[in-house]
Structure 1
Amino acid sequence: MKTLNCKGTLIDLEQPKVMGILNVTPDSFFDGGKYKSDKEFLEQAARMLKEGATFIDVGAYSSRPGAVHISEDQELARLLPVIDLLIKNFPQILISVDTFRSTIAQKSIEHGAAFINDISAGKMDTEMFDTIAKLQVPYCIMHMQGTPQNMQKNPEYNNITLELVHYFSDLLFELNTKKINDIIIDVGFGFGKTTAHNFELLKYLEIFQELNVPVLAGLSRKSMLYKTLDISAKEALNATTSANTIALLNGANILRVHDVKEALEAINIVAQIETSNS
């Protein structure tokens, strides 16, 4: 049974859950700069929660390919006021904080966030694992080849699926030795991978279930979808739903999305198939 302990609440992931994205960055690839005021942040969070999001993922550092690197102080200045705002208005909210910096992780949890979503899996801050061990909060580790600034410059693998299985196996062993128990893995669609790499990982996503930890799929409006169809990110909702459905059929436990309602509909449809097979 796959569960996460979020601020004393046990979240059962046998029924997949939705993580709604709330970017507080001016330059994220899809919704960067869309929400600029407290009112807009609250309205979007309220919408996602009403539509069925279990988690709200707040990010203040854009990780799109070629994104501008910002300082720790800038990230904190963007992030903490929004966490405080959400906690004040939605006391039961479960906030995931999208950061690779241990000090940001520490302060975010102190301000009421529930867990940490790290695109670098500790590779960009050597203090992150020890910080998570001290905080004892759920921790999502993502695979990324390189950094957001260079990750899409000719990524190469011999066998991407096998390499990522070994990558996560090694990390899980290290995290378990530090007595970190609530771990989620994210193969990192679009992070240091070609379109072919991304679709191979989607095809074989079920293999990662063998690691016996929850799997998060972050496919929402990614370039692997809209470039394949020669459309824009804005037009890629249907493609996102198709990809999310494939991910669910291959065992994904959490869908990280911009569009909560549609993701939850995909979960409910796939659940009918699972019920009919029982």
Structure 2
Amino acid sequence: MYYRPIARTDSARPETALTLAGGWCWFDEVELIRRDAEPEIIPATHLPEEEMIRLCEPRKPLGTLALDAPRIMGILNVTPDSFSDGGQFDVEDAAVARAFALREMGADILDIGGESTRPGATEVSEDEEIARTAPVISELRARGFDGLISIDTRKALVADQALEAGANMLNDVSGLEFDPAMVEVAEISGAPICLMHAQGLPEDMQDDPRYGDVLLDIYDYLEDRIALAEAHGVERANIIADPGIGFGKTVAHNLALIRGLSLFHGLGCPLLLGVSRKRFIGTVGHAEEASARMPGTLAVTLTGLAQGVQIHRVHDVAEIVQGVRLWDAIARGYAEESDA
């Protein structure tokens, strides 16, 4: 059985409502889902104790970054071929300047990647990926960059070198499948690690993705990968889960996952949503160029906020930060700042 909390943010909160993941959403009803029966709605008070703890327990901060408010992860691809911004920041000076600009715009986390994982992309060697990422991270720390830095890689050696250079978070789009040694890096370093679902490799993941039930299949996958990490000494509290929007999914799969995002709080981990400028946004929103998909990205981001997703990985940081601040002020209240 699966338990999807029906997340709400309305100020008219019943006394019996439970707080979702220690954040800004609450719930007093749960959708009980079975693979072999129609779903039903049950009171949240009927949850098994273990499920209630997983859904309600506040998530561990990422370093000093509390997760009781939405957090923005700014994308910095130091690659020549990423689907949206490839070639824009693959020179060190440009990458460093962009990183500081993203921080100024309001990015809480910087996600640096040296290998494109867009559909059809081919693998980059470890040496090349390290050469693209580690010097940028090192230079950022040398210049006093104070934000959380995540290394977006599938490879343990790249991750290790990034941590040595000053990164403090891991983001593995393969969910520890591409390089089994990645789990050792996470365990030894103690760095938080994001585990994402992807069906297939970038070379072929969009050829013909299929699922029995996309929401439940991906939940089970992430539960299995988290259990694997725990078996190797990584604490569940140190794991972030990402359903992998656009990685081996059709438009229908992506939309189903977004509608059911709150289910993934049952993993007992913070959630990361990465939808920025993705093709399904262009398809549904009639925006052929990736750079024109910010409004659609914001729409999906706000949907994620309404379901309690803590971390949002985006290209258009300034625009998304503005939208999130307005959403947050409406949902949680706004303290006016002095003009002095």
Same fold (TM over 0.5): yes
1:18-37 → structure 2 map (5 Å cutoff): 18-37=72-91
Q: What's the CA shift string for 1:8-34, capped at 9, x where partnerless?
A: xx2211101000000000000000001
Matched to 2:274, the amino acid is G
Q: Give the TM-score, by structure 2 length.
A: 0.77
Q: Is the 8 A contact 2:79 2:90 kept in 1?
A: no
- State percent identity of aligned pairs: 36
Q: Give the TM-score, by structure 1 length.
A: 0.94
Distance 2:233 2:122 in 1: 34
Distance 1:36 1:5 in 2: 27
Distance 2:62 2:286 in 1: 41
1:12-23 → structure 2 map (5 Å cutoff): 12-23=66-77
Structure 1: runs of 5+ lacking an equivalent: none
1:117-266 → structure 2 map (5 Å cutoff): 117-181=171-235, 182-231=238-287, 232-266=289-323
- Give the superposition deviation at 1:135: 1.1
Over 3 Å counting, the alpha-carbon distance change for 1:39 and 1:128 in structure 2 is closer
Partner of 2:85: helix, strand, or coil?
Answer: coil
RMSD between aligned residues: 1.4
- Give the superposition deviation at 1:106: 1.0
Count how many residue pairs are aligned between Structure 1 and Structure 2.
Answer: 273
Partner of 1:11: helix, strand, or coil?
Answer: coil
- Give the superposition deviation at 1:275: 2.1
Distance 2:207 2:90 in 1: 32
Distance 1:253 1:179 in 2: 24
Q: What's the CA shift string for 1:215-266, capped at 9, x where partnerless?
A: 0000110001012223221111111111111111112100100011222223
Matched to 2:67, the amino acid is L
Partner of 2:285: helix, strand, or coil?
Answer: coil
Distance 1:111 1:40 in 2: 18
Over 3 Å counting, the alpha-carbon distance change for 1:264 and 1:130 in structure 2 is same
Distance 2:157 2:92 in 1: 24
Partner of 2:111: helix, strand, or coil?
Answer: strand
Runs of 4+ in 1 over 6 A off after TM superposition: none
Q: What's the CA shift string for 1:152-188, capped at 9, x where partnerless?
A: 1100001010011111112222222333221101111
Q: Is the 8 A contact 1:249 1:270 kept in 2?
A: no
Structure number with larger C-alpha Rg = 2
